[in-house]
Amino acid sequence: VHLSQAPPPPCYKLFSLYGVDGTEWNVKYKKTEICALKGSTVFINGTYTKPAKFNVKEEFWVTEDFNVNENKPLYCKPTKDSGRVQCYVDKQQHFSLKLINVMKEDEHVYRFRIKTNVAKEKWLGDPVKITVTEREAAVLTCTTTCALTDSPTFIWYKNGRLLSSNANPLHLQPVSSEDAGSYMCAVRGYEHLPSPAQHLCVRYSPKNVSVSISPSGEIVEGSSVTLTCSSDANPPVQNYTWFKEGGTSPVGSGQTYSIISIMAEHTGLYYCVAQNEHGALNGTDDVQYATVRVQCDGVISTDQLEEPQYASVIFHHHTSATG
């Protein structure tokens, strides 16, 4: 059995950006090369530090057609827009670019641009390249050590179970995570002489993202709440980013997000976006929310796995869990 598989992913590095006067501006990206599946969601995340003597006046994203002298065109500038292309910057100088439903036209080299209160002091970040690929195919071919005189009929097994297809080669197109497993083939009538098993490994972007709250039940105001994000992905999720519904910037990162000394202003819907090197869960298709709600002098929270109390309430056509 022969399997055709995608080449291994490239290695990624972090870069530092230096000002023209020798003062170090440290700019770090999570990744500088991203290969994403068409239709997935992609994040370019990073942080920067700056010399205290400069005040940042403008921050935005550009692509390879950016003219340094004319300072245009701009690709994305942080706003409250909720379109397919979004970008964020917070007071801690974390920045990100979010591309929803990524397409071939999104294949660019992206850079983060920083302008200060000193006209000549402008910085252009190192390039981040995005490549968009279609779902690939896997081809399994069954061969015999010598040519059989009769036209043989081949049969296929996956994880020990007989498949309905007698095709040879066996085409899995487009290949999906459900196709992963151990495959064997044999000639019909000689099932007792199967081929050695070959394992098909399928790499895919995150799916089945879920959010849970701990502790569940009533919490005294001033206590803490921890939200946990889970997802199925291969390779495993590398970045979790947390958002509060209606906000313009991420509120946290990491698989867990804790709200310490909870207060009324923490009330709201929270969700996470999971990302690996093949993309992120498409936030417009399947988002699960955790609701933190303040009532009287306490906070009521309900674990994601429990039955929603407001089953008829739909938030932007997403799946919601409420407390």
CB 194 within 8 A of CB 184: yes
pLDDT tens across 94-146, in order? Answer: 888 989 889 999 999 999 998 889 888 788 888 999 998 877 788 999 988 88
Please report the pLDDT score of residue 288 as a whole number. 57
Cα 202 from Cα 77, distance rounded (Å): 36
What pLDDT sits at residue 256? 94
Q: What is the separation, in whole angstroms, between the first and last Cα of the chain? A: 52
- Tokens coding 179: 């196709």
Q: What local confidence, expressed as pLDDT, does residue 13 receive?
A: 37
| SS3 state of residue 105 | helix
Using only C-alpha atoms, what is the Rg of the chain?
Answer: 25
pLDDT of residue 273: 86
pTM above 0.85, yes or no: no
Task: Work out the angle at residue 319's Cα, subtended by the Cα atoms of residues 224 and 178, and round it to the nearest 5 degrees.
Answer: 105
For the stretch 124-127, contacts whose Cβ atoms lie closer than 8 Å and that sit 24 or more positions apart, written own/partner, are 124/17, 124/62, 124/66, 124/68, 125/17, 125/27, 125/29, 125/46, 125/48, 126/15, 126/17, 126/27, 126/29, 126/32, 127/32, 127/64
| Domains recognised in the chain with CATH numbers | 17-133 (2.60.40.10), 138-200 (2.60.40.10), 204-301 (2.60.40.10)
pLDDT of residue 223: 84
Number of Cβ atoms within 10 Å of the Cβ of 129: 16
Contacts of 237-241 with C-beta under 8 Å, sequence gap 24+, read: 237/206, 237/274, 237/275, 237/276, 238/30, 238/275, 238/276, 238/277, 239/30, 239/43, 239/45, 239/274, 239/275, 239/276, 240/272, 240/273, 240/274, 240/275, 241/43, 241/45, 241/96, 241/272, 241/273, 241/275
| pLDDT given for residue 82 in this prediction | 67
List the chain residues with pLDDT less than 70.
Answer: 1-23, 80-82, 217-219, 248, 281-323
The whole-number pLDDT of residue 181 equals 93
Cβ 244 vs Cβ 287: under 8 Å: no
CA distance 7 to 19: 37
What residue type is assigned to position 288 of the chain? Q
